[in-house]
Amino acid sequence: MSHDRIHQKRAPDLERMASAISDFLEAAGFDKEGHPHLARSGERVAEAWAQDLLEGHSVTPRDALGEPFEESSSDLVIVGDIEFFSSCPHHLMPYKGTAHIAYVPDGLAVGFSGVVRMLDALAHRLTLQEWLTRDVVDVLVDVLQPRGAACLIEATPMCVFARGVRRPCRIASTAFRGVFQDDPSLREELVSSCLGRG
């Protein structure tokens, strides 16, 4: 993965995170002690970020993908319509979407569940959608050395929906390596198959 990615330097400090959220609520004009639904917001937010939204920082994507096995076929493999969530570093807002991950084996393959786990390991971080798309492909290429690999992601960013233009929109991002990059017809067929619906 590229050096410009955001890396977690230490384990989350839940107590400091909770305190920071409480300070944020007070700075935003709320009396957290004055309402039962705000009294534990700091702890809840800290736990949600540490245990769910940022859990991917403690997982190695290669390990999440699992151990490859020998595969003699070079037929296209697509693991599609994988729902995921991630968090944008710009506004610390989540986004959710659907990923389509494909590769053409060249002697090695991996279990389908491993592909999903690898996606989660990369998505449950502070990352941009474009980074996530490219990183998925880079892991597949690094581990499987396939004839080609591709990732197509459609997502709805909350930072566009809740602020700025305040419109729901579908953002699509793609990354291609190997035969998908070299063969326009194969690439177009994959894009049409995965993104051309609806």
The domain ranges of the chain are 14-53, 66-195
β strands within the chain, DSSP E: 69-71, 77-88, 93-104, 107-109, 148-157, 171-178
pLDDT for position 4: 84
pLDDT at 135 over 70: yes
- Mean pLDDT, residues 82-99: 95
pLDDT tens-place string over residues 176-185: 999 999 999 9
CATH of 66-195, one of 3.30.470.20, 3.30.1130.10, 3.40.50.10490, 1.10.1060.10: 3.30.1130.10
Q: What is the mean pLDDT of the chain?
A: 93
Q: Using 50, 70 and 90 to split pLDDT, how confident is the model at 26?
A: very high
The neighbour count for residue 189, using CB atoms within 10 Å, is: 14
pLDDT at 59 over 80: yes
Q: Are strands 171-178 and 148-157 parallel, antiparallel or unpaired?
A: antiparallel
β strands within 89-133, DSSP E: 93-104, 107-109
Q: Using 50, 70 and 90 to split pLDDT, how confident is the model at 198?
A: very low
Residue carrying structure tokens 């800290």: 46
pLDDT at 174 over 90: yes
DSSP letter for 126, please.
B
- Mean pLDDT, residues 56-61: 96
